[in-house]
Structure 1
Amino acid sequence: MTTAEKPAQQLVKLPLLAPVSGEALPISQHYEPAISHGLQGQGVMFKPLGSRLVAPCDGIISEIAATNHQLKMQASHGVIVEITCGYQALDTHGCGFVRKVNVGQRVKCGDVLLELDLINIRKQIPHLDIALLLTNGVLTVKPHYGNVRANEETVLTGVIKPK
């Protein structure tokens, strides 16, 4: 089959719901330079008001930081969804981040991933910006900004070319 005879592959959209209640902002406003410059992926950031961090889509937990401030999950089509809480969150040594899932666990959209002790965390680190990032096969993203409620509004749509 020549290239001209191959059927055109459709692009797939992967919608992600807000993982936390608060304000969704451009990722360029994140305090961590590696995140704000897009070196860790494309996405959106949040100024959280809520204390529950929920799964933005269905997937499998693939990685959790020892301090519980960062986790990755594999979503459909091999896309990696990364959620990182806070700038310099390693300084907390995990205090204020209560993990509710384990590596290898299958989660549904809206399942609680982390409980955040916002008062304790804000005493320890200057900025609790939460980044929602997409990597691995995402062609582009369409972010949605403004005030959002966890598990209710779409905040990021990834465009993927299935393999």
Structure 2
Amino acid sequence: MFGFSKKKNLKEDSHLYAPLSGEIISISEVADPVFSKKMMGDGYAVEPTGNQLFAPVSAKVSLVQGHALGFVRADGLEVLLHVGIDTVSLNGAPFTFKVKEGDIVDGGQEIGHVDWDQVKKAGLSQTTMIVFTNTQDKLGNFEVKKGTTTAGADIGSAQVK
């Protein structure tokens, strides 16, 4: 009646969105072999110039940890947003998330921010990875526009098998 119980529905959306402003690079260029050798799945990375975080896909939030967010799209594709390299050691201190597990987000929606000064002071990399964690089971193919991007921009798409 008053819109208090208005629930957002998960929508089909194959688009990929920039989680941060910065330079989109190939995941194989990431300094951490866990990501560059695609041990967690295929994906891409961003060398950030901004600190606002945006949803890389339209999906349900499946995981909220201090340094990472997990998403599941309507088609079952699982996406991990891993902010920085080895930032798990910071116990979530530089990260503020506006979402919780179970929330439905639109691709390109603001979901939080990161204090890069804390990451830099710890001597850690800001490189942020977007990984399709069920690559073998679900990912058909994906394409992203490499180069400079703005947070929340439509940068490509991913199709399932």
Q: TM-score range, shorter-chain basis? A: 0.7 to 0.9
In structure 2, the residue matched to 1:152 is: 153
Bigger Rg, structure 1 or 2: 1
Deviations 1:51-104 (A, max 9, x none): 111112211100112xx2111111121011110011111221211111211001
Aligned length in residues: 147
- Structure 1 portions without partners, runs of 5+: 1-11
Instruction: Name segments (4+ residues, structure 1) moved above 3 Å.
Output: none
- Structure 2 portions without partners, runs of 5+: 1-11
In structure 1, the residue matched to 2:121 is: 123
Identity %: 25
* Counterpart Cα distance in 2 of 1:51 and 1:148: 13
| Larger proportion of strand | 1
Shifted more, 42-51 versus 131-140: the winner is 131-140
Deviations 1:10-45 (A, max 9, x none): xx9822011110000110111221111111111111
Q: Does 1:36 align with 2:36?
A: yes
* Counterpart Cα distance in 2 of 1:44 and 1:102: 24
Query: What is the 5 A alignment of 1:91-130?
Result: 91-130=89-128
TM (normalized to structure 1)?
A: 0.83
Contact 2:87-2:124 at 8 Å conserved across structures: no
* CA RMSD across the alignment: 1.7
How far off is 1:128 after superposition?
Answer: 1.0
2:73 aligned to which of 75, 79, 84: 75
How far off is 1:122 after superposition?
Answer: 1.4
In structure 2, the residue matched to 1:19 is: 19
* Counterpart Cα distance in 1 of 2:27 and 2:148: 15
TM (normalized to structure 2)?
A: 0.84
